[in-house]
Amino acid sequence: MTADIAAILAIDGIATGAVYALVAIGTVLIFTVTRVIFIPFGDIAAFTALTLAALDAKQLPGTAGLVVVLACMACVMEVASLARARELRAVPKAVLGYLVLPLIVVGIVWLTMRFNPPMPVRIVLALLLIMPISPLLDRIVFRPIADASVLLLLTVSVALHFALVGLGLLFFGPEGVRTEPLTSMAIEIAGVHVSGQTVLILTAALVFSGLLFLFFDFTLIGKALRATALNRTGARLMGIRPARAGTVAYLLGSLMAGVSGILIAPVNTIFYDSGFLLGLKAFVGAIVGGMASYPGAALGAFGVGIIESFASFQSSTLKDVIVFSLLIPILLWRSLASQHSEEEVEE
């Protein structure tokens, strides 16, 4: 391997790593706030890419149907639980939040589509359409068992991933998509060709991580989220609703996953089930950060990207085996580093 090839591989790896980093940060965000290891996150990224591709092809994306179905389910569940608790006054607000709002989003997409909007608008539409999915899934799947052990939540999360893969096939079909590049520019850095797409991916990763940092440090909601992550009971006593903090976390996380999906779609062909590997690799990065540290997760994700890039040069068929085998030493290191309490254990 010459230095040139190494440089190309490294740049490639950094670009892939930046995509993983966005998803990894979202995974950490959701885990700290809700204790859910949200495996379906990669699916959200893949769905965003597929949604954008459908919009490019002037079709109503399957995501619209998915959002409508999930919104109806979430709304029914929320109203039923409010009715059981005899808090009927809260029903209009619940219907607004869980049903009307997602439907408005779908409506906007449906209307805007007819005017053949330009690329940037299509990207915004795709992100808009994808964002309600995770919060709605949270309401339907995780909220009823919010106090269960991390392990049970993980099992549910894995099952949810498979449900989403099936839905993905149903709504998007088996064809892979590759969207048009966002830019065709290219630059040279020290003699190495770097595509504009790579620059764009890196910029987006930096911008979104920066925005997240500002959000956490300078807004009240951001601080509430951090408080919930540190101590749910304590946050509750301070008037923060963990459920609402969870919704905000899922919305933010979906945005990060969505952006990563849009960034990767012009580089790799995305299928309905591409999200699993994307999510898991991001997740390896998140574990490097101990599922707690955002910079750690981002660094880990870059590491995974670079390793994958070099591994695929050595043996393209075995690159995934290499990446996942790496997870075991990382887990060992994290498990030994973390203090584990036995109180979590379910009898």
Instruction: List contacts with other proteins (CB under 8 A).
Output: 37, 141, 144-145, 149-152, 154-156, 158-160, 162-163, 165-167, 169-170, 276, 280, 287, 317-318, 320-321, 324-325, 327-328, 331-332, 334-336, 338, 340, 342, 344-347
Per this entry, what is the length of the chain? 347
Question: Residue 254 phi/psi, 5° resolution?
Answer: -60, -40
Cα–Cα distance between 93 and 70 in angstroms, integer? 17
Residue with tokens 């903090």: 245
- Of residues 213 and 324, the one with the C-beta less far from other proteins: 324
- Of residues 151 and 207, the one with the C-beta less far from other proteins: 151
- Of residues 88 and 151, the one with the C-beta less far from other proteins: 151
Count Cα atoms within 13 angstroms, Cβ side, for 240: 23
- Of residues 3 and 328, the one with the C-beta less far from other proteins: 328
Residue ranges with strand state E in the chain: 186-189, 192-195
Per-residue b or e along 246-270, where b marks 16 or more CB atoms closer than 10 Å to that residue's CB: bbbbbebbbbbbbbbbbbbbbbeeb
- Of residues 255 and 311, the one with the C-beta less far from other proteins: 311
- Give the contacts of 162 (CB within 8 A, at least 6 positions apart): none
- Of residues 166 and 210, the one with the C-beta less far from other proteins: 166
Question: Is residue 153 within 8 Å of residue 35, measured between CB atoms?
Answer: yes
Of the candidates 273, 294, 272, the residue with the CA atom closest to the CA atom of residue 282:
294
- Of residues 266 and 279, the one with the C-beta less far from other proteins: 279
- Of residues 25 and 165, the one with the C-beta less far from other proteins: 165
Q: Minimal distance in Å, beta carbon 113 to other proteins?
A: 24
* Distances, alpha carbon 230 to alpha carbons 37, 39, 220, 225, in Å: 16, 22, 15, 9
Provide the 3-class DSSP secondary structure of residue 238. Answer: coil
- Of residues 14 and 301, the one with the C-beta less far from other proteins: 301
Of the candidates 309, 226, 251, 290, the residue with the CA atom closest to the CA atom of residue 20:
309
Q: Minimal distance in Å, beta carbon 38 to other proteins?
A: 13
* Distances, alpha carbon 145 to alpha carbons 36, 202, 243, 264, 336, in Å: 10, 37, 12, 33, 28
Q: Minimal distance in Å, beta carbon 314 to other proteins?
A: 13
Q: Minimal distance in Å, beta carbon 319 to other proteins?
A: 9
Of the candidates 75, 82, 81, 79, the residue with the CA atom closest to the CA atom of residue 103:
75
- Give the contacts of 100 (CB within 8 A, at least 6 positions apart): none
